[in-house]
Amino acid sequence: MSNPKIVFIGAGSVVFTHGLLADLLAHPELRQARIALHDIDPERLETAEAVARRIAAARGAAPEVSATLDRRAALDGADFVINMIQVGGHAATVADFEIPARHGLRQTIADTIGVGGVFRALRTFPVLDALAADIRAVCPDALLLNYTNPMAMNVWYLASRVRNVVGLCHSVYWTMHDLAALVGVPYEEVTYLAAGVNHQAWVLRFERAGADLYERLDARIEADPELRRRVRVEMYRRLGHYPTETSEHSSEYVPWLLRHDAEIERLRIPVGAYVGISEENVREYKRTRDAVRTGGDLPVEGTGEYAPQIIHSVVTGVPRVVYGNVVNDGLIANLPPGCVVEVPCVVDATGVRPTRVGALPAQCAALNRAYVSVNELTVRAAEEGRPEHVRHALMADPNTAATLSLDAIWRMCDDLTRAHGDLLPEPLRVTLTP
């Protein structure tokens, strides 16, 4: 495949677009790729195009760069589509935190499961419907690489709408990178296997030259009491396998922590953290925009993300192993068929091939099944037009169910339904509390 066409949907996420382009154009074989940028915000799209041209010049690359507000035109003839939209932007994120907080529900990141994850999915699904329809019309064989959260719900929703979709997240890589540093072993010398669901996968093997590095980790935790004040370390100590997402994320996928003031203090859980992160993302965009306009410094920094690696492997045939979010077709034996799981995938010129992991440890699978239930009910709510399933999803959600009464869950859903309004699928724009 020469000069592949790579389309960025949501390219106005300029900082992320910047990092991905820096990685893509670092590969000599991709330096003449056709890069098509799409966003619905003209200013952000203009900034993204300027950033792309600056990065290309810095890399000594000569890609064909185009930018358009017309999504179908951007997608026409695409080989790869990178999706990184955020529907509703910062304002919707604030609503996802402030409204549940008024009902007494605490969250930290709110983008995966929980009430924030559910409503983020519901306002994303209509845009995914339109994106999938365009892909089917003008580039049906394109490989869709999804970065938009909630990862598992979005990939589940897309899987029946496009031929080729893989969800990508950096959590496994950075977990293993940080674990290697924690036990004093170079990352390049570590062998590992992880599997589960996105943001709640488990490190099943952690070795160097056949030696179990979990023993080193145990000694490190025993020697440092402050490590025992991390959520993910606490989960590892109780469950026997290290989770592949940060403590902030991990705290809101379980029922034991956020409803207890003492646990929040003991484990230093940053309630509401993502609102600040979202605000910083807006500020970082403005800094990048201003740097482009004034000719200021614009560092060319790679991200180590999987999408550029996948594209390079498919184009060149160079084999790699990455972690992907894909439909569970017997990949993890004790999670439901059809759900979306995170497993190692082999990538080469033939595409992305997930590997079968077998059964997870029973206690890890049990937590994953609670997560999967929230995913299934949310997807069903949209596909079947059943607003009661939105409430059912949150009745099944570990943190929500541990914190709120049934009446409070339904009232909270009504308030969020009114707040997000036309962003939601039309059949779900109804309140159900008498």
* 90 catalytically annotated: no
Tokens of residue 142, six digits: 């394109």
Integer CA distances (angstroms), 174 to 117, 170, 180, 250, in order: 22, 6, 10, 15
Tokens of residue 273, six digits: 């953290």
State the pairing for strand pair 200-208/80-83: unpaired
Instruction: Say whether 169 counts as a known binding-site residue.
Output: yes
Query: Angle 182-168-281 (CA atoms, 0-180°, nearest 5)?
Result: 80
Integer CA distances (angstroms), 346 to 85, 122, 306, 308, 321, in order: 26, 31, 12, 14, 5
Catalytic residue among 27, 170, 249, 420: 170
Residues 342/198, Cβ–Cβ less than 8 Å: yes
The neighbouring-strand residues paired with 344 are 323
Residues present in the chain in total: 434
> How is residue 272 annotated by DSSP?
T
The three-state secondary structure class of 434 is coil
Q: Per residue in 57-84, is it b (16+ CB within 10 Å) or e — as a string?
A: eebebebebbbbeebbebbbebbbbbbb
Instruction: Say whether 139 counts as a known binding-site residue.
Output: no
Long-range residue pairs from 279-287, CB within 8 A, at least 24 positions apart, any chain: 279/90, 281/15, 281/90, 282/90, 284/15, 285/14, 285/15, 285/44, 285/47
Tokens of residue 52, six digits: 């792309």
d(CA 76, CA 78): 6
Tokens of residue 406, six digits: 């049934």
* Closest by Cα among 381, 384, 398 to 123: 381
Instruction: Say whether 146 counts as a known binding-site residue.
Output: no
State the pairing for strand pair 143-146/80-83: parallel
What are the DSSP E strand ranges found in 181-299?
Answer: 191-197, 200-208, 211-212
Binding residues for substrate: 149
Residues with a known catalytic role: 170
Q: Which residues are annotated as a binding site for Mn(2+)?
A: 169, 199
- Known binding residues: 149, 169, 199
